[in-house]
Chain A
Amino acid sequence: MTKMILLGSRKGTVIFDRINGNWRPRPITHAGIPVCYAARDPRDGTLWASLDHGHWGPKLSRSRDGGTNWEDVTSVKYPKGARYIVKYLPTPDFDPEAPASQPEYADATVLKIWNIAFGNANQPGRLYAGTIPGGLFVSDDVGESWELNRPLWNHESRGGDLFAGDATSENRWFGTPASVDNGVFEPGIHSIILDPRDAHHMLVAVSTAGVIETTDGGQTWASRNRGMTNDYSPDPEAEWVHDPHFVTSCPAQPDHLWQQNHCGVFYSADGAKSWKKVSRPDVGVHFGFPVAVDAKDGRTAWVVPAQADSARMAIDGGLSVARTSDGGQTWQSFRSGLPQENAYDIVLRHGLDIAGECLCFGSTTGNVYLSEDRGETWQCLANNLPPIYSVRFG
């Protein structure tokens, strides 16, 4: 059974250890510093935290001794010449489908390191980091050095190779205004989905653009948004403009993928070649941020339903977790152990995780709940924590 839970929170990293059957929190690490993501590399046990220093810039922090000592890893940096097309806050006459008349360019700097992913078991030292403003970084030396994946950065959906000159195509990537305090209109990579069968196969998810796939180790990329629909752009089935809140896959059945976004819960059983909307608003399953998938059965997934979209809080003041075991055809709602009155928690995109029979989620209200029976009953691990951004079993 898993023995560690890492929380990234508004005020630091909180680690819970399972000791004699009970989960106990350690004193907070990175105290006072926002931590948007924290996770343990299962290959070598290294702990990683992504720090969102308000003044001093985003940085990674790494512990090789289980969380006692941490060190800065400051090497995630955009290379000279990395630019992107800036799209500002939409105005009343803004048409997302219209060609930009005069692209404006910005030099890329790291605004947030939103996600860290660990390479396959046969790739020691391989790490991935997804950032705002939309860069995928790759390291092959446990984070000592990082390289921007240029084919994705230079993708035609972003205007082409801006290292070489001005844009040669339209920018189809939009911002992610809820992801940084006060909002930013740069896009962000928050989901990096690796394929345990094939190290050259990977998907990333971008807010706001959609899901993008490579099958050749990152040399070429293509959108994988067929079947995705949205209700906020002129073309609900546009190739781009999608805002997957979080995308994840089943480890044993990697072609089974799930995403939760603004406009529903979507499921793919064919490796993201096509998506199917499996929301059931009548049972509350529609809007939310995180989604978790069973390790063995790709048809089984969990979401934490929320009230869409302008409210972004628990539905009717009560927290619930919904589970499907048939690819989203039916959902079962579980509430035992969760507050059912005056609860307004929202669980963000990295705020739910699964390990075997255990699920855990943390909310921006600073509450943490754990289930050891596949989400059917829950126990409260903590109240009064800082707002929680990420929950990952170690």
Chain B
Amino acid sequence: MPTVEMTQHLYRFFPQLKNQTITVPAGSVAEILNAVNEIAPGFTDYVLDEHGALRRHVNLSINDTIVIDRKTLSDRVQEDGTVYIFQALSGG
């Protein structure tokens, strides 16, 4: 099953995810995030806007590749894939 890793900043709001190995069923990025939201209700409100698109200052990659579809999150995550969620760094 794919693994989900994320910036530790999100642990402040979802402490139940801290120090956990988060594994969820393979699927689209949207399905992956919804699965995380099942573990930590409200999680998608932090990384997605109200239309289900990645927030402007959030990045998400599958392994080391930034997702292409930020709007509907249709990129597929393979069984051995890792999803990384992190801030879109812009300096400062």
The interface of chain A, by Cβ under 8 A from chain B, is: 53-57, 59, 72, 74, 77-78, 80, 107, 109-110
With A55-B88, A56-B13 known to touch, is A109 a contact of B58 (CB < 8 Å)? Answer: no
B72: shortest Cβ distance to chain A, in Å? 12
Q: Give complex CA distance A83, B3 in Å.
A: 36
Could you pull out 30 A-B pairs where Cβ atoms are within 8 angstroms? A53-B46, A54-B57, A55-B9, A55-B55, A55-B58, A55-B87, A55-B88, A56-B10, A56-B13, A56-B46, A56-B47, A56-B55, A56-B58, A57-B45, A57-B46, A57-B55, A59-B45, A72-B13, A72-B42, A74-B42, A77-B50, A78-B51, A80-B51, A107-B51, A109-B49, A109-B50, A109-B51, A109-B53, A110-B49, A110-B50
Residues of B within 8 A of A57 (CB): 45-46, 49, 55
Range of interface residues on B (Cβ < 8 Å): 10 to 19
Binding site secondary structure of chain A: loop
Binary A-proximity of B33-55 (CB < 8 A = 1, otherwise 0): 00000000010011101110101
Question: A147 CA to B42 CA in the complex, in Å?
Answer: 19
Are B45 and A55 within 8 A (Cβ)?
no
Residue ID in chain A nearest B46 by CB atoms: A56
Q: Which residues of B contact A110 (CB under 8 A)?
A: 49-50
B9 to chain A: which residues have CB within 8 Å? 55
Quick one: which of A54, A57, A74, A77 has the most chain B CB within 10 A?
A57
Residues in A whose Cβ lies below 8 Å from that of B42 = 72, 74
Q: Which residue of chain A lies nearest to B89 when distances are taken between CB atoms in the complex?
A: A55
- Closest chain A residue, CB of each to CB of B12: A32
Tell me the bound Cα distance from A56 to B14 in angstroms.
Answer: 13
For B50, B53, B57, which residue has the most chain A Cβ atoms within 10 angstroms?
B50
Set of chain B residues within 8 Å of A77, measured between Cβ atoms:
50
Closest to B10 in A: A56
Chain A residues with Cβ under 8 A from B53's Cβ? 109
| A219 CB → nearest B CB, Å | 24
Residues of A within 8 A of B13 (CB): 56, 72
Q: Given the complex, which residues of B lie within 8 Å of A59, measured CB to CB?
A: 45
B7 to chain A, nearest CB (A): 9
Min distance, Cβ A155 to any Cβ of chain B, angstroms: 21
Q: Are A78 and B50 in contact (CB under 8 A)?
A: yes
Q: Please, how many angstroms separate the alpha-carbon atoms of A80 and B50 in the complex?
A: 8
CB pair A74 B45 closer than 8 Å: yes
Choose among A55, A77, A80 the residue with the greatest number of B CB atoms under 10 Å from its CB: A55
Chain A's nearest CB lies how many Å from the CB of B8? 13
Nearest chain B residue, comparing its CB with the CB of A31: B12
Closest 7 CB pairs of A and B: A77-B50, A74-B45, A56-B46, A109-B49, A55-B57, A55-B87, A57-B55
- Closest CB in chain B relative to A203 CB, distance in Å: 27
Q: Which chain B residues lie closer than 8 Å to A74 at the CB level?
A: 42, 45
- Complex CA–CA separation, A53 to B13 (angstroms): 12
